[in-house]
Structure 1
Amino acid sequence: MSGHGEEISVLHVDDDPDLGDLVAVHLERVHSDISVCTERTAADGLDRLSERAFDCVVSDHDMPEMDGLEFLMVVREEYEELPFILFTGKGNEEIASDAISAGVTEYLQKGVGTDQYTVLANRIERAVGERRAKTALEESERMLSTLISNLPGMVYRARNEPDWPMQFVSDGAAELVGYGSEAFESGEVSWGSLIKESETERLWETVQTCIAAGEPFEVTYQIETADGESRWMWERGRVVDTDDDGVEILEGFITDVTAREERERELANQRAFTEKLIDSVDDMFYVVGTDGSLVRWNDTVQSVTGYTTQRLASLGIEDLIADSDHEKLWGVFEETLETGFGTIEAGVETADGETLQYEFKGSRIEDERGDLFGIAGIGRDITERKRRERELREYRMLVENVGDPMYILDTDGTIEMVNEAMAAHLGHGRSEVIGSEPARFMPEADVEKATALIRDLLGDEERTWAAYEMRTIAADGTVRINENRVAPLFDEDGTFDGSVGVMREATERKQRERELERYETIIEAVGDPVYTLDDEGVFTYVNEAIERLTGFEPDALIGEHISTIMTGEDINRGSELIRTMLSDPTRRNVTFETDIVDQSGDHTPIEIHIALLPAAKGEFNGTAGVIRDISERKDRERQLAEFASVVSHDLRNPLNVVKGRISVARKSSDVSHLDAAASAADRMDELINDLLTLARQGETVGETAMVDLGALAGQAWVDVETGEATLEQFGTATVEADAARLRSVFENLFRNSVEHGSTSSRPGADDSVEHGSTSNSAQSDDTVAHEQRADSGAPVTVSVGTTDTGFYVADDGAGIPPEERETVFERGYTTSDAGTGFGLAIVDEVARAHGWSVSVTESEGGGARFEFTTSSER
Structure 2
Amino acid sequence: MDEFGGAIRVLHVDDDRDLAALTATFLERENDRISVETAADADEALERIGEDVDCVVADYELPGRSGIELLEAVRADYPDLPFVLYTGKGSEEIASDAISAGVTDYLQKDSGTGQYAVLANRIVNAVEAARSEQLLTRRTRRLERLIDTLPGMVYRCRNEPDWPMETVEGEVEELTGYDAEALERGDVVWGEEVIHPADREEMWERVQSSIDDRGTFEVNYRIRTRDGETRWVWERGRGAYEDGELVAIEGFITDVTERERRENRLAETTARLEALFEQSPDMINVHDVEGTIYEPNARLCEKTGYDREELIGMKVWEVDCSIDSESAAEIWQRMEPGDSRRFEGNYERADGSTFPVEVHIRRIATDDEPLFAVISRDISARKERERRLERFASIVSHDLRNPLNVAEGRLELAAEECDSEHLEHVADAHERMNALIDSLLTLAREGEFVTDPEPVEIAEEAANAWAGVVTGDAELRLPAEGTVVADRSRLAQLFENLFRNAVEHGAPGVTITVGDLDGGFFVADDGPGVPESERESVFETGYTTGDGTGFGLAIVEQVAEAHDWSVRLVGSEDGGARFEFTGVDEP
TM-score normalised to structure 2 length: 0.39
State the structure with bigger RCO (CA 8 A, min sep 6), 1 or 2: 2
Larger Rg: 1
TM-score computed with the length of structure 1 as normaliser: 0.28
